[in-house]
Amino acid sequence: DAGVTQSPTHLIKTRGQQVTLRCSPISGHKSVSWYQQVLGQGPQFIFQYYEKEERGRGNFPDRFSARQFPNYSSELNVNALLLGDSALYLCASSFGQTTGELFFGEGSRLTVL
């Protein structure tokens, strides 16, 4: 069975640009979460979507937005990129909303120049 898939795996942007990251959850999983992992730190929660509704949001500015589609895939958008947005963006899926058994994808590594 396919795990969580993310695209693109690597991308380079310049300050001020916008980026869209994509995620496909494990088949049957209805919850998708996004995390940002800066080098040397643990992942930080950005968003959770369950059944296509936003169920949680971390301490990130409004430049960050996300959505979940009817097939449970998800997109994370970041506008007006800053140098500090350079990080590994991880998508995780789970069957339920609060089980904590998250299964992560390989991540999208964003570099902002």
Partner 1 sequence: QKEVEQDPGPLSVPEGAIVSLNCTYSNSAFQYFMWYRQYSRKGPELLMYTYSSGNKEDGRFTAQVDKSSKYISLFIRDSQPSDSATYLCAMISGSQGNLIFGKGTKLSVKP
Residues lying near partner 1 in the complex (CB under 8 A): 4, 31, 33, 35, 40-45, 48, 50, 55-56, 58, 88, 90, 97-107, 109
Q: How far is the CB of 4 from partner 1 (least distance, A)?
A: 8
Question: How far apart, in whole angstroms, are the C-alpha atoms of residue 47 and residue 56?
Answer: 6
Distance of alpha carbon 21 from alpha carbon 29, whole angstroms? 19
Written as one letter, the residue type at 2 is A
Q: What number of other Cβ atoms are within 10 A of residue 20's Cβ? A: 14
Q: Minimum distance from CB of 106 to partner 1 (Å)?
A: 5
CB of 42 or CB of 84, closer to partner 1: 42
Residue 38 or 80 with smaller CB distance to partner 1:
38
State the nearest-atom distance from the C-beta of 100 to partner 1, in Å.
Answer: 4
SS3 83: helix
